[in-house]
Structure 1
Amino acid sequence: MGRPVAFFEITSTAPEKVRGFYTELFGWSAEPDPEMDGYAMVDTGAGPEAIGGGIGPSQAPGDTGVKLYVRVDDLEAGLARASELGADTLAPPMDLPGGYGRIAVVSDPDGNPVGLWA
């Protein structure tokens, strides 16, 4: 069974500028949340079945860009399989606030970040 893309994330050293770009280009809404260090949950306006996303500030050097998060049944098994395929772990497993599950980030063979979400 295939795994669906479940979330996208756009991080930047200039999150306000990037947020303005995407909201103006695509008609999205994204209001930064001060309690989440200015991270903004994105509403694409495409309805409840649409993939959700977020736009926020970079957290570490080199983490800017667009990242996809893919649903997995078991986060540790997904990390182990990614490692077998040559991935490095970029962000170890962490709990999401509000009981939204756990995530980790690995690199693909070209070094692109890919999020795993269980």
Structure 2
Amino acid sequence: MGQPVAFFEVISTDQERVQKIYADLFDWQVTPDPAMGGYALVDTGAGGAAIIGGIGPSIALGDTGVKIYMRVDDLDGYLERAEALGGKKVVPPTDLPGDHSRYAIFADPDGNLVGLWA
């Protein structure tokens, strides 16, 4: 069985505007967290099996856009495999706040950013 999409993320230079657009457009519950710089977790209201997401501020040049995060059981192994297949590590394995595990981001050969979440 393949690795599932586990999380989506929308990053913007004006996260409050984008948070409102997605909340109003799709009737999502978007809850900004001041402790995380206004990053908002998203409840799509689609039930327990739905993919969860976040909408947050840009923190680096070129990081805006939409990313998907794949659930993996070996973050380092998948990141190494992505690099062996032509990808480039963008964010090394990094601890998430709280009890949300770890993530990493790579760029595929066309520059698309893809997250790994373990």
Same fold (TM over 0.5): yes
What are the Cα deviations for residues 4-46 of structure 1, in whole angstroms up to 9, with x where unaligned? 0000010000101111111111110102111111000001010
User: Stretches of 4+ moved more than 6 A in 1?
Assistant: none
What are the Cα deviations for residues 54-76 of structure 1, in whole angstroms up to 9, with x where unaligned? 00001101000000000111011
Whole-angstrom distance in 2 between the partners of 1:16 and 1:102 = 25
Whole-angstrom distance in 2 between the partners of 1:99 and 1:28 = 23
Which residue of 1 is the match for residue 78 of structure 2?
78
Whole-angstrom distance in 2 between the partners of 1:31 and 1:75 = 28
Which residue of 2 is the match for residue 103 of structure 1?
103
Which residue of 1 is the match for residue 51 of structure 2?
51
- Give aligned pairs, total: 118
Which residue of 1 is the match for residue 5 of structure 2?
5
Q: Percent identity?
A: 62
Amino acid across the alignment from 1:67? K
* Equivalent position SS for 2:98: helix
Q: In the TM superposition, what is the alpha-carbon distance from 1:97 to its structure 2 partner?
A: 1.3
The alignment status of 1:23 with 2:18, answered yes or no, reads: no
Whole-angstrom distance in 1 between the partners of 2:76 and 2:93 = 8
Give TM-score, length-normalised by structure 2: 0.97
Aligned-CA RMSD value: 0.7
Amino acid across the alignment from 2:102? R
Q: In the TM superposition, what is the alpha-carbon distance from 1:108 to its structure 2 partner?
A: 1.2
Whole-angstrom distance in 1 between the partners of 2:46 and 2:32 = 20
Q: In the TM superposition, what is the alpha-carbon distance from 1:100 to its structure 2 partner?
A: 1.4
* Equivalent position SS for 1:99: coil
Whole-angstrom distance in 1 between the partners of 2:79 and 2:33 = 30
Long gaps (5+) in structure 2? none
Long gaps (5+) in structure 1? none
